[in-house]
């Protein structure tokens, strides 16, 4: 089941003396967080905060409504921030990493199960899926059209057509 509220970053410090916060983004970019006017301080969405934010180098600077002093801001240090998945429309073929983790990895042709998707690594050119088999052995597969044939988050699987060398040690 997909989580409604997704981790998007962590408050790592303050900025200035008027209650502005420094947020370490756990998403594609600092700009991504800036698209949201409302963030949440818990994974159930019970505590909503109104924010105005802007990117600054590799972090996001945010001003929370009602947090007006450095002391108020300091009390929020270390808190994880969440977004509501309903507040964003992802493009076709774009997925939240949290929805991908745990998906079963299957061969697109034979149906053989290779393991579970355990991490998504950012390499620059393309992402790489870390796949862990039932024995705990890890494999890496590039996320390119020739390899990743289908991603079905609702069905709980990813279909791969592996390149030579990815799983060859099994045969």
**pLDDT score for 169:** 60
- Say how far apart CA 11 and CA 22 lie, in whole Å: 6
**Domain range summary for the chain, segments of one domain joined by +:** 5-87, 97-164
**pLDDT score for 1:** 65
Residue with tokens 């990743």: 148
Q: What is the 3-state secondary structure (H, E, C) of the chain?
A: CCCCEEEEEEEEEEECCCCEEEEEECCCCHHHHHCCCEEECCCCCCCEEEEEEEEECCEEEEEECCCCCHHHHHCCCCCEEEEEHHHCCCCCCCCCHHHHCCCEEEECCCCCEEEEEEEEEECCCCEEEEEECCCCCEEEEECCCCCEEEEECCCCEEEECCCCCCCHHHC
Whether the predicted pLDDT of 53 surpasses 90: yes
The answer to whether the CB of 106 falls within 8 A of the CB of 158 is yes
User: How many other CB atoms are there within 10 angstroms of residue 138's CB atom?
Assistant: 11
Over range 124-142, report the average pLDDT.
Answer: 93
Residue with tokens 């240090």: 77
Whether the predicted pLDDT of 126 surpasses 80: yes
- Say how far apart CA 142 and CA 150 lie, in whole Å: 13
**pLDDT score for 128:** 94
The answer to whether the CB of 48 falls within 8 A of the CB of 4 is no
Give the fold, CATH level 3, of 5-87.
Elongation Factor Tu (Ef-tu); domain 3 (2.40.30)
**pLDDT score for 122:** 86
Mean pLDDT (the chain, rounded): 92
- Say how far apart CA 59 and CA 67 lie, in whole Å: 19
Q: What percent of the chain stands above pLDDT 70?
A: 98
pTM of the model: 0.77
**pLDDT score for 123:** 84
CA distances from 15 to 20, 25, 32, 83 (A): 5, 15, 19, 22
Give the fold, CATH level 3, of 97-164.
SH3 type barrels. (2.30.30)
């Amino acid at each position: 089941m997909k989580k409604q509220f997704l981790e998007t970053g962590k408050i790592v410090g303050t900025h200035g003396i008027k209650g502005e916060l420094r947020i370490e983004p756990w998403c594609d970019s600092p700009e991504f967080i800036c698209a949201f006017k409302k963030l949440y301080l818990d994974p159930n969405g019970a505590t909503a905060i109104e924010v105005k934010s802007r990117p600054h180098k590799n972090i996001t600077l945010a001003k929370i409504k009602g947090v007006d002093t450095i002391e108020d801001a300091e009390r929020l240090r270390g808190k994880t921030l969440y977004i509501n998945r309903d507040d964003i429309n992802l493009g076709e073929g774009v997925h939240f990493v949290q929805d991908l983790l745990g998906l079963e990895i299957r061969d697109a042709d034979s149906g053989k199960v290779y393991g579970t998707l355990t991490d998504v690594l950012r390499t620059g050119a393309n992402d790489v899926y870390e796949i862990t088999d039932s024995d705990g052995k890890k494999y890496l597969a590039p996320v390119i059209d020739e390899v990743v044939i289908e991603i079905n988050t609702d069905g709980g699987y990813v279909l791969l057509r592996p390149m030579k060398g990815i799983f060859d040690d099994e045969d």
